[in-house]
Structure 1
Amino acid sequence: MHANLDWLQSRVNISPEKQAVVDAMTDDSWTYKELHERTNIIANFFLTKGVKKGDRVAILAPNHIGYLDFFFACMRIGAIFIPLNWRLSTDELTYVIEDSKPKIIGTAPSFLDKLQQTGLDADIIHIDDNHYYRTLNYEQHIFEVAMKEEDPLAMIYTGGTTGRPKGVVLSHRSILWNALNTIVSWDLGADDVSLITTPMFHTGGLNVYTLPLLLAGGKVVLSPDFQPKKAVEDLMKYQCTVVLFVPTMYHMIIQTKEFQEASFPNMKVFVSGGAPCPHKIYDAFWEKGIAFKEGYGLTEAGPNNFFIDPKDTIRKIGSVGKPMLFNTIKIVKDDGSLAGENEVGELILKGHHSFEYYWNKPEETKEVLKDGWVHTGDLAKQDEEGYVYIVGRKKEMIISGGENVYPLEIEHWLEAHDLIDEAAVIGLPDEKWGEIVTGFVSLKGDLTEEELIAYCNQKLTRYKVPKKFYFLSELPKTHVGKIDKGLLRKKVIKNSTTL
């Protein structure tokens, strides 16, 4: 085997007795040496079951040491690791399993029924506790698999909000370079500790901090579900130094008594990712004097692509910063030319951290990956100092009366209102204007549509002010906690009274 691809082995040689992983539910912990020993058992078991280079192995479980057992075992034998999204419906899960055809699926007891409902054939490993691996029968093998950096290592399925989920193939190179880029650009080291509550079936759970920290010799604390109160307590208990949450999680965290009373003496920085972050969340951290910043990424690239010093977030609120050391960005207009200063265009990315292809989808791959550049579908602008701001999704841009409207600007203004809990803005078909700007809000108090429109008029140009508002008790979310604008659009077009 190409020596530098099995970096867990190299890390074990350097710091065998250092604590690598902690289970936040049971308080069990494992050193790098113990993680390595678990990996060897699982790798031997896979080989005994006939798993060969390029075969797929899946896991369907809450955050658990099993993810790392399976991931590193696949790295060792050349198999492809697939973390399955347990929030998928049975129909969607069936599609993903049929598409990827894993030989083995590790599953938690809570998801066994769902897995069996798919009716699909695969060997099932029951991941019922932290010691599940001790019950597996296996023969000893020698790990001699010829591998190249561009060989697939993991396949993460995208959310599928625009159709069927796509399997994003990440190679050994993709994952290693994302980790290296993150360690160097974000200044991570062996003393860093992170709590992982974002699901590890998602690139944010696996690739933002988990794998970079394990490469750096740090420690990851795995939590199987997100409870805002417990998350705050765990950050304190395990003396975490860095953490990622999505905005929906932060929204819940900042409302807890535990957050308001906590001082987080060990935390270097809180990072938000997965969706644009409302400015009121920044405020909650700044009021406590705590460093907070926003990241940007996607499954197809990294997901880590930018760095911003938390000191700069106050004067550059909403910026994701500048490109990290080992990736390049461009902002391009529809005609392919480069956008000028503060001019909006599509963000495209390039680097060794980008994905190789979509599984079984050559046409979709060609649409997104062109000459090594990942076309993100996200609109961005770069200011005179080189700081990048994400403006919104290309597909979400509203054209009303010939004017381009970016929902994110309106959403930030709406969410700055004391009585608004969450907000979303979409464009709906209109005979006169082409599209009309439409707002959806959930409230903390009483607010009328007229008052909302008057509030928008204080800050927004007239054509950006929503012509219509819908009031909901809660905005619907996708599997990864983003507001589901597709569902909002479908509901209104189908029958506005259902809202």
Structure 2
Amino acid sequence: MHHPGLDAWMGKRRLKTPDKAALIYDDGQAMTYAQLADLTDRVSALLSARGIGKGDSVAYIGENSPEFLATLFGCAQVGAVFVPVNTRLAPPEILHILADSRARALFRDRDFVERTSPLASAVGIAHVVETADLRHALADADAGFAFIHAVPEDPAAVIYTSGTTGRSKGAVLTHQNLTWVALNSLVDYDIVSTDVALMISPLFHVASLGMGALPVILKGGTIVLERGFEPGRALRLIAQHGVTMLSGVPTTYQLMADHPDWAVTDLSTLSKLTCGGSAVPTRILNAYEERGLHFSQGYGMTETSPGATSLSPSMTRSKQGSVGLPHFFTDVRITDESGADLGWDGVGEIEIAGPNVFPGYLHLPEATDAAFTADGWFRSGDLGRLDADGYLYISDRLKDMIISGGENIYPAEVENLISNIPGVTGVAVIGIPDDQWGEVPWAVLTVAGTTSISTDSVRGHLDGQLARYKLPRHVIVIDELPRTASGKIRKQDLRAMYGGAKR
């Protein structure tokens, strides 16, 4: 039986709904599915003309646009692997992704030309395409291309996730992974062909791509593509286009509810609100419920494409604090340190299985082996429990990950760079609760002798090496870091000491 991957999506949409608006962008321009499929074909032809085909990596750095999606599907049609790059990353982080993915081509928005030109040269990328000139550049690509039929296990994308050891890892997502996570979304979020989805989150995030854009395209709905998020504009677009579906993180929903236009904006068409990254605070739940709006919440990670569980709006209050039930085609279990299944109400590591779970990390066989159990379940590194009804509750994060405004921050990545500052003898980066961002990173240091260290000096050292959202919001110098008998820093003690602080 043939199992089509993303390579087949545009061709099938062109047959089924050629005149339906696929995308609305740039203040009201519309692109039909037939036009998006044509653009996709021209991207495929452009790649083919440059000798890029099966297994080759194509990096993309840019904001939400039709070209982003056309490049994703264009890569799929020639068997190439799409590598979206977070636009907020610093040059050394981007360089690592370009080198590690062995990108043969780079598609980029004009805003990133200056930042990426030396990087592309440094890793020898021969094919660089400006997205603003893409349609003009495609004029020489009308000769067609060799269509590659994907099999479920073929890589479709590599999405980089910050690593616990300080270097980001490329999570390989297959055609099967991205198809099944879209199907999970269709089932559990009741996505229909008449849905109009406002995309305010960047598509380079796996949640926006895998659970936002792809299921809407699979069903033949319409996406309102925004290059960035501004709460007043988002409210206007909801009313203007009759938006039915919105995805975001708690911070975005809070900023919309706090905007002066919130009370007077017509939100009557909204029926599906999904929120990830962290639990929705009660005051945000209250603000939206007062307008007759209810959230679906969930849990997942890049390695699960990303959805693992979802909490339906009807259970938001009765199961408050839970991240929901496993998605329809996904399973979750809780195990102890020996790998034994704990069943209900035992706290242990969350493990996930299903066709949406990735096969492994790019060029990292040891990390891949460590990420899976002997019987093939993905080890999330998070602690949780299942209640008697099967609902998952997150207890703690084994990896100490910080989630700030929906962005993941791994402390080790920041700590490794801070430890290079002369005079720093010890460092721990922890997440501190923040009303706007959920959490923000703080750094707690020990220093040698009379070394003078300030928040500004640490941020100045890191600026340009890390994305700015990863920079510590505050730096504290103490005499001694609390440690276990084996010498490991007790971050839970530091969080207890400083977690109630406001700066």
TM-score, normalization by structure 1: 0.79
For residues 322 and 482 of structure 1, the distance between their equivalents in structure 2, rounded to whole angstroms, comes to: 34
Match of 1:468 in 2: none
Match of 2:365 in 1: 362
For residues 203 and 431 of structure 2, the distance between their equivalents in structure 1, rounded to whole angstroms, comes to: 32
Cα contact 1:202–1:480 (8 A) shared by 2: no
For residues 259 and 43 of structure 1, the distance between their equivalents in structure 2, rounded to whole angstroms, comes to: 43
Match of 2:73 in 1: 72
Cα contact 1:2–1:147 (8 A) shared by 2: no
Cα contact 1:248–1:481 (8 A) shared by 2: no
2:4 is the alignment partner of 1:4: yes
Letter in 2 for 1:62: E
Q: 1:364 offset after TM fit, Å?
A: 0.8
Match of 1:262 in 2: 265
2:290 is the alignment partner of 1:290: no
Match of 2:161 in 1: 158
For residues 240 and 102 of structure 2, the distance between their equivalents in structure 1, rounded to whole angstroms, comes to: 41
2:395 is the alignment partner of 1:391: yes
- Identity percentage over the alignment? 30
Letter in 1 for 2:131: I
1:163 aligned counterpart, secondary structure: coil
Q: 1:381 offset after TM fit, Å?
A: 1.6
- The match for 1:179 among 182, 202, 223 is 182
For residues 284 and 231 of structure 2, the distance between their equivalents in structure 1, rounded to whole angstroms, comes to: 14
Match of 1:421 in 2: none
For residues 320 and 366 of structure 1, the distance between their equivalents in structure 2, rounded to whole angstroms, comes to: 27
For residues 150 and 104 of structure 1, the distance between their equivalents in structure 2, rounded to whole angstroms, comes to: 23
Cα contact 1:20–1:220 (8 A) shared by 2: yes
Cα contact 1:48–1:139 (8 A) shared by 2: no
Q: 1:147 offset after TM fit, Å?
A: 3.1
Cα contact 2:88–2:467 (8 A) shared by 1: no
Cα contact 2:344–2:385 (8 A) shared by 1: yes
Across the aligned residues of Structure 1 and Structure 2, the Cα RMSD in angstroms comes to 3.3
2:51 aligned counterpart, secondary structure: coil
Q: 1:125 offset after TM fit, Å?
A: 0.8
Cα contact 1:274–1:482 (8 A) shared by 2: no
For residues 191 and 238 of structure 2, the distance between their equivalents in structure 1, rounded to whole angstroms, comes to: 17
Cα contact 1:241–1:267 (8 A) shared by 2: yes
Q: 1:169 offset after TM fit, Å?
A: 0.6
When residues 35 and 98 of structure 1 are mapped into structure 2, their CA distance, relative to the original with a 3 A threshold, is: same
2:304 aligned counterpart, secondary structure: coil
Further displaced range: 279-288 or 359-368? 279-288
Deviation string 1:252-282 (CA, Å, 9 cap, x unpaired) is 2221112233341111121111233323222
In the TM superposition, what are the counterparts of 1:306-321 in structure 2 within 5 Å? 306-321=309-324
Q: 1:481 offset after TM fit, Å?
A: 11
Match of 2:105 in 1: 104
For residues 147 and 81 of structure 2, the distance between their equivalents in structure 1, rounded to whole angstroms, comes to: 16
Match of 2:19 in 1: 17
Q: 1:161 offset after TM fit, Å?
A: 6.2
Match of 1:134 in 2: 136
Structure 2, unaligned runs of 5 or more: 412-427, 437-454, 481-497
Further displaced range: 213-222 or 291-300? 291-300
When residues 154 and 277 of structure 1 are mapped into structure 2, their CA distance, relative to the original with a 3 A threshold, is: same
For residues 228 and 481 of structure 1, the distance between their equivalents in structure 2, rounded to whole angstroms, comes to: 23
Deviation string 1:90-115 (CA, Å, 9 cap, x unpaired) is 11111111111211111111111110
Q: 1:187 offset after TM fit, Å?
A: 1.5
Cα contact 1:66–1:127 (8 A) shared by 2: yes
When residues 96 and 439 of structure 1 are mapped into structure 2, their CA distance, relative to the original with a 3 A threshold, is: closer
In the TM superposition, what are the counterparts of 1:80-99 in structure 2 within 5 Å? 80-99=81-100
Q: 1:192 offset after TM fit, Å?
A: 1.1
Match of 1:335 in 2: 338
Letter in 2 for 1:228: P
2:352 aligned counterpart, secondary structure: strand
For residues 272 and 49 of structure 2, the distance between their equivalents in structure 1, rounded to whole angstroms, comes to: 44
Further displaced range: 267-276 or 201-210? 267-276
Q: 1:16 offset after TM fit, Å?
A: 1.2
Q: 1:49 offset after TM fit, Å?
A: 0.5
Cα contact 2:197–2:243 (8 A) shared by 1: yes
Cα contact 1:279–1:318 (8 A) shared by 2: no
Aligned length: 429
Letter in 2 for 1:74: C
